[in-house]
A and B are shown apart, each in its own frame.
Chain A
Amino acid sequence: DADVTQTPRNRITKTGKRIMLECSQTKGHDRMYWYRQDPGLGLRLIYYSFDVKDINKGEISDGYSVSRQAQAKFSLSLESAIPNQTALYFCATSKADMTGELFFGEGSRLTVL
């Protein structure tokens, strides 16, 4: 079983709908992240959380919100999805140390029509 699990893995939705992507981890890491991947643009950070009471915006947070329900759970919401939010979304975790190595989930492919 994957250490970082994302649900759903694939989702097709319509413009204006609310969408939630969920991430859970069994690695025991304190830090969790949401990244977005678009072809030719690499990965861009949406939000990150260093513990349950800590939420921080990344470089592209507009149109997104997050919730850290527990140490092991971090969800990403699109309140009103738009077509340019069509992308592959990755959740990642890391230890609270200086190595900073990220461990990624398997990705959630979102298509907004």
Chain B
Amino acid sequence: ELKVEQNPLFLSMQEGKNYTIYCNYSTTSDRLYWYRQDPGKSLESLFVLLSNGAVKQEGRLMASLDTKARLSTLHITAAVHDLSATYFCAVATGTASKLTFGTGTRLQVTL
């Protein structure tokens, strides 16, 4: 059974600081996804990582994938309040688009 673990589960950080969210998973996969969810809202796709060593960046967020370590990171650079949200990683296995989600990291950026 695939398990996806994120840490930390909650992160409070000051504006302007850098931090990394980690996503570990238990079985082989080369497809990993990051989503953002604002309170009471839907999930918004941030990154799709489809191979070992994949790195993608959008604004202050950068995601990477190491399939050998079964690890993905979401790095936040110079955080701003607008990044406050819950971030989920999800892993796909097999040929189907069945994603297993982590429990989420709630990020709070304070002034």
Contacts and interface: CB of A to CB of B under 8 A. Distances in A.
Contacts of B101: 35, 42-44
Nearest to A92: B43
Contacts, number: 59
Main SS class of interface, A: strand
Contacts of A105: 42
B51 to A, nearest CB: 11
B48 A101 contact: yes
Contact of B48 (A35, A42, A44, A99): A99
Interface stretch (B12-20, B60-68, B73-81, B92-100): B92-100
A94 B101 CA distance: 16
A106 B42 contact: yes
Interface in B41-59: 41-45, 48, 50
B102 A106 contact: no
Nearest to A45: B98
Interface of A: 31, 33, 35, 40-45, 48, 50, 58, 90, 94, 98-107
Interface of B: 4, 31, 33, 41-45, 48, 50, 88, 90, 92, 95-104
Given A33-B97, A106-B41, 5 more contacts: A45-B100, A48-B97, A90-B43, A98-B95, A107-B42
